[in-house]
Structure 1
Amino acid sequence: MPLKPKIAIIIGSTRLTRFADKPAQWILKQAQAREDIEVELIDLRDHPMPLFDEVASNAWVPSQNPEAVRWQETVGRYDGYIFVVAEYNHSLTGVLKNALDQAYKEWIRKPFTAIAYGSMGGSRALEHLRGIAVELQMVSTHAAVHIGGVDFFSVAPMGGNKPIEEIEANLLPSSKMALDELVWWAKATMAAKASETYP
């Protein structure tokens, strides 16, 4: 029987007043309801890395900072990722960019999807994430979950602060599509890596 892909949900914001926990817990629930993946939550608050200051990427030189090495070991255990993406000033958070920069070999040829949020559904931040991920040799799903507009302001802390379940009907179709694509790509990349030598 084929192994189930092991997926990490990475919370990409560390602010004390972050909104990220709501979408993170919601997408965790959706992923846990499936029988074709295993999923775990990773909080960047638990990985207090410095701003990237190594002599080079770990693609070329082993990292020296213990927290960076621990981060690499953590993300290296997974076959794919779901990023919880906040949009700050038309881009992703600094802490998420730093976390991406602190690893390289661990991301290669692994797929990801996202649940993004903001006034425009986090679309601009996710677009930046996809560009970064291409350079890290990752595979992006086409589909993602976007929480924006009236939906975002109804569930955000500085808006209506309603439970995310009140907008769930608007999120379920895209979450199913995104998770379906993530599973397909995870199985495809796992099979390819098992049968080929990476160039």
Structure 2
Amino acid sequence: MSDLRIAVILGTTRPGRRGEAVAQWIVERGNARDTARYELVDLADYPLPHLDEVNSAKMGQYEGEHTKTWSAVIDQYDGFVFVTPEYNASISGVLKNAIDYLYAEWTNKAAAFASYGVNGGMRAVQQLRTIASELELAGVRQSLNLSVFADWQEFTTFAPGAHNDPTLETMFGQLESWAGALQPLRAGVAA
């Protein structure tokens, strides 16, 4: 196994959220590859108030203990899989807030996107790609878009179909390749 560490960020804290099962499935499938270590980072475990830092995240001068804790969590990873629902054609407010707290901790790392919703959450992924580019977070091409019609039984029980396997494997491969390729930049070595 490589030394790559990938955070699977569960981007909703909503009661009854569907994303918990999705994120856990991605962690299990990622770790089954034995090519990187995938770990769940659940935003519900990091209660961040609406952005309350005085300084811009680009300065990295955090005052709040909650921000310092969040910074330490995110900083340790080489890449991310953002698991997001689509709420009103975008990502959840809690995910945007968590992203906005930090800057350097996201930079020169790789990101993949797994979304779900009536339309597979594709519009949420579009929003995340725009945000990622501003953070110098390299978004991989392949995303996983899960439909509540095809991947849930009676809209309540997550039951991903085998049709997702090739997409998931491609996404993992791209994410791990980019996360590894960006390691020298994170180490401060000219590529």
Task: Provide TM-score, normalisation by structure 1.
Answer: 0.90
| Secondary structure in structure 1 of the residue aligned to 2:90 | coil
Aligned to 2:175: 182
Q: What CA distance in whole angstroms lies between the structure 1 residues aligned with 2:111 and 2:42? A: 16
Return the letter of the residue paired with 2:65: P
| 1:49 matches 2:48 | yes
Q: Using the TM superposition, name which of 135-144 and 184-193 deviates more.
A: 184-193
Q: What CA distance in whole angstroms lies between the structure 1 residues aligned with 2:109 and 2:162? A: 29
Q: Deviation at 1:168? A: 2.4
Q: What CA distance in whole angstroms lies between the structure 1 residues aligned with 2:46 and 2:188? A: 33
Per-residue CA shift, 1:161-191, capped at 9, x if unaligned? 2342xx3212111100000000100110013
Match of 1:173 among 154, 166, 170: 166
Query: Which 4+ stretches in 1 moved above 6 angstroms?
Result: none
Q: 1:61 and 1:37, CA in 2 relative to 1: closer, same or farther beyond 3 A?
A: closer
Give the alignment's Cα RMSD to 1 decimal: 1.8
Which ranges in structure 2 are unaligned for 5 or more consecutive residues? none
Aligned to 1:58: 57
Give the number of aligned pairs. Answer: 191
**Is the Cα contact below 8 Å between 1:57 and 1:101 reproduced in 2?**
no
Return the letter of the residue paired with 1:131: T
What percent of counterpart residues are identical? 34
**Is the Cα contact below 8 Å between 1:10 and 1:83 reproduced in 2?**
yes
Which ranges in structure 1 are unaligned for 5 or more consecutive residues? none
Q: Deviation at 1:61? A: 4.8
Aligned to 2:3: 4
| Secondary structure in structure 1 of the residue aligned to 2:88 | coil
Q: What CA distance in whole angstroms lies between the structure 1 residues aligned with 2:19 and 2:58? A: 30
Per-residue CA shift, 1:78-126, capped at 9, x if unaligned? 0000111110000000000000001101000100102100011110001
Q: Deviation at 1:197? A: 5.1
Per-residue CA shift, 1:131-169, capped at 9, x if unaligned? 0111111000000111025215x34xxx442342xx321
Q: Using the TM superposition, name which of 141-150 and 12-21 deviates more.
A: 141-150
Q: What CA distance in whole angstroms lies between the structure 1 residues aligned with 2:48 and 2:185? A: 32
Q: What CA distance in whole angstroms lies between the structure 2 residues aligned with 1:87 and 1:174? A: 19
Q: What CA distance in whole angstroms lies between the structure 2 residues aligned with 1:192 and 1:98? A: 26
**Is the Cα contact below 8 Å between 2:83 and 2:115 reproduced in 1?**
yes
Q: 1:67 and 1:193, CA in 2 relative to 1: closer, same or farther beyond 3 A?
A: closer
**Is the Cα contact below 8 Å between 2:91 and 2:124 reproduced in 1?**
yes
Q: 1:174 and 1:61, CA in 2 relative to 1: closer, same or farther beyond 3 A?
A: closer
Q: Deviation at 1:4? A: 2.2
Task: Provide TM-score, normalisation by structure 2.
Answer: 0.93
Q: What CA distance in whole angstroms lies between the structure 1 residues aligned with 2:129 and 2:120? A: 15
